[in-house]
A and B are shown apart, each in its own frame.
Chain A
């Protein structure tokens, strides 16, 4: 596809091993949702094999088709419960040549939020990624991965934000990004930052953010929560969990700030039911109370299937049952 100069509309940490059918079945989100939207918008058609062996051909390439119910949406994110996706027709955006990345430091979470709003306004259509990680996440990465360095060393900052822009004119985009960054620095939203000068530096910045899950894996036992929350409330949960769990564990907050998606990870020396009891169901109740989702992009699977009521009303779940099993 690259030789025709198009790209896939999604990019995620598991890119090295995941497969497209699985991505669609789990409605994978990833790093560029803020720019290209979710798979619900980008998948044009599917071919699905149902449990009884019937092959359902919904493989279209049309942008618009309002004839009847748009069945493919049921299968996108169905996690294999309704059928197996065997073919996918996907809308691919053109590959744009000008990519710029900045790695920034913010004093507090409020600045991160304001920065997001400002980025959406100032960068507009060229914004292609907005990720954040807290200082605990940065420490975990620096301590567990080889060949990484903190671009904003030696000062330790509280929050790090990665902003990426993708557009057509290198000089125009760079100027726009620099103007936004300089303005944010002058207004105190950013306390420091670096701008990647070549592709190597850009990859180094991404390595820091994409390396968080891998680092946590290497650091020991990890309890992972993928939550959607109102942006202004997102980090409050991290702070509360820290207070609740104490010094014995590391509570790490990072994720797709641009989408309101927090990856809350608790890193412990080893798995311990006592720790789990302190985390669940508190984390789900908290999320539910703020009308958030207990699984923003990872899905529920078997492990969290019964947790669905934290984010979906019983009526909604009952109605789903009726549609899928009308008898």
Chain B
């Protein structure tokens, strides 16, 4: 290539030739021999080759190491739980699918491990294998809320549904955990696992019917049921004296804090039914209901119907009494009666004409107080069994009555000014901020 127009910087001559002899093309001045310019050493295009290394056939694509590890972990968990191979395969499929998603590909290893556990959990549920999230959390040694978060994320990504698992299905597996057979504990405290599990199932069913189970975590309920079952199967003084704490230590399970409340709630239900036993003379209290548990569970359906009937009759008797009282005080305005009837008309299914008048009685009282906090008649107290959160309803702070606002009202200047600092305040505040930041920087 002719280098016309180029001048050698050394001698100024325009006699420059293209020297291709050596590997590097150069423009050389003939007169003084200095190199004017040189070509590139390699012929590769700017920025490297067209095909990147990772995409060439130089390197076979190896699966991500963490994916392999994760799959191994899934298999491990499945083997610990001794689930069927079908569940294991399903879990591996889910894991592979979820792993590729952006929510799980660039996260901490801990999260990936939680994902492994959640895949197993979902697969178990889909194949009707009873298991709780608590068990998985224990296996993964992680906080249940964290696991729950990963689980819900995964469900959204995979877009699958997991059928609901009932507590009654899980209780049998749960009871197996308790080391309470004759091999582990002394004779008077030992119990056969099958017998224990059968009674625990009955207790959990009863709990389910009487609103103790819905909305609550299953593990404490199962623990309470197991404990009561164990106590009632042989209510000798050793067992009755043993507290839940000691029982859990004995059986080598971790105690759950809410289990004590569940025990109380369950005992209450048992008392209500125990009262209906025809051969029981003394009133049944929490302390002496345990020996009766066997009988109660055996006849629980009959006892349930009897208890409901007794309760209805008690309600009616109560109403007629209050109605008699009210008929004397006839100055109750008809509008008030209709209003309170409206108010209480949509109570639970056990409603009869009476609760309205009872509500009316309460209304009458409330009216005289002229307080704005008129407590609503708690419908929970009118039925035999109600969810404990209704029976022990939290006291809500009374909301101020809503004013009628159009949104277009005038906004007074004084109100707005009350939200703005005066100049003196501004100065003080600025000074204080400066002092605070000075002291901070002084300390640090």
- Tell me whether A and B are bound partners: no
